[in-house]
Amino acid sequence: MRSFLHNLLRNPTESYDINTLTDFTLGEAQTRWFKQFDPRPGSEYSLADVRRMRPAVHRHLTTLSPDSVFVKTHNALIEDEGVPLVTMGVTAGAIYIVRDPRDVVISYSHHQGKSLDFAIDMLGQDAACTGGDDINVYEYLSSWSRHVASWTSAPNPQLLVQRYEDLLDQPVKSFGSVAKFLGLDVTRARLDKAMKLSSFKVLKAQEQRKGFIERPARSDAPFFREGKAGQWRKILTPEQVARIEADHGEQMRRFGYL
């Protein structure tokens, strides 16, 4: 999605470099933003330190461009000890991407360099967090179900919800909806070009040629690994599938996964 936004809005002649996606799609959990308010290494921040600074960081991010600023977050749309993880006062809207949790656990296990059972456990924990080092401050994901519900339970005209699977199966409709949501009146040719330049095949080839700075060092797997839907049918055991469906059945049914 971030690559698509760059290729759509910047309209380059060749695919936008995946290692410069922070040009205007910023990661709100990057420690470098918090150093504006506390110069210590991020690994020395307490949870309370991050809570205190997070709203100020969000406000700071809005000052980095005279235009709209796109900010990536993995946080659930909840409060942490009374502090919102998303500062709504400086948020114009959001694009939320939901994916079948049976495929999420496969992707997440590779991303973390951990077992499938670890990923299944992680997706079921209401207190699940990541980060908290010198690169990224902690992000409060919560469980997959709570995360999805927190963002999507209340319809909101400022929120666009997209299924990952629809981006693959109905790209023109899905990415066209993104452009429309952003108030952009783009030609079909420009939409097609942006989709082509940000295709998984193109991004994977870029990573193979030059690497990807956002790939975690703890994992040997490439960041752009498969980009497919339904892999769980071949990879997960019946017991693992049953556990995921038992943990997340309500939200899975809402989005047509069951």
Structure-token pair, residue 202 = 């193109």
Structure-token pair, residue 99 = 């994916």
How many percent of the chain have pLDDT more than 70? Answer: 93
Residue 212 CA to residue 191 CA, distance in Å, equals 25
The answer to whether 19 and 25 have CB atoms below 8 angstroms apart is: no
CATH architecture for segment(s) 2-254: 3-Layer(aba) Sandwich (3.40)
Between these two residues, 218 and 45, which has the higher pLDDT value?
45
pLDDT of 212 over the 70 cut: no
| Segment 70-120, tens digit of pLDDT | 999 999 999 999 999 999 999 999 999 999 999 999 989 988 888 999 999
| Segment 123-169, tens digit of pLDDT | 999 999 988 999 999 999 999 999 999 999 988 999 999 999 999 99
Structure-token pair, residue 106 = 């496969």
pLDDT band at 240; cut points 50, 70, 90: very high
Between these two residues, 54 and 209, which has the higher pLDDT value?
54
Q: Which helix (H) or strand (E) holds 246?
A: helix 238-254
Structure-token pair, residue 50 = 């991050």
Which one, of 36, 216, 40, 43, lies nearest residue 113 by Cα?
216
The answer to whether 58 and 70 have CB atoms below 8 angstroms apart is: no
SS3 118: helix
* pLDDT of res. 199: 83
Residue 123 CA to residue 206 CA, distance in Å, equals 30
Residue 27 CA to residue 253 CA, distance in Å, equals 30
For residues 205-231, give the mean pLDDT.
Answer: 68
pLDDT of 225 over the 70 cut: no
How many percent of the chain have pLDDT more than 90? Answer: 71
Instruction: Compute CA distances 135 → 45, 95, 185, 208, whole Å.
Output: 12, 24, 37, 23
Q: Which residues pair with 27 in a beta bridge?
A: 72
* pLDDT of res. 223: 61
φ/ψ of residue 142, rounded to 5: 60, -165
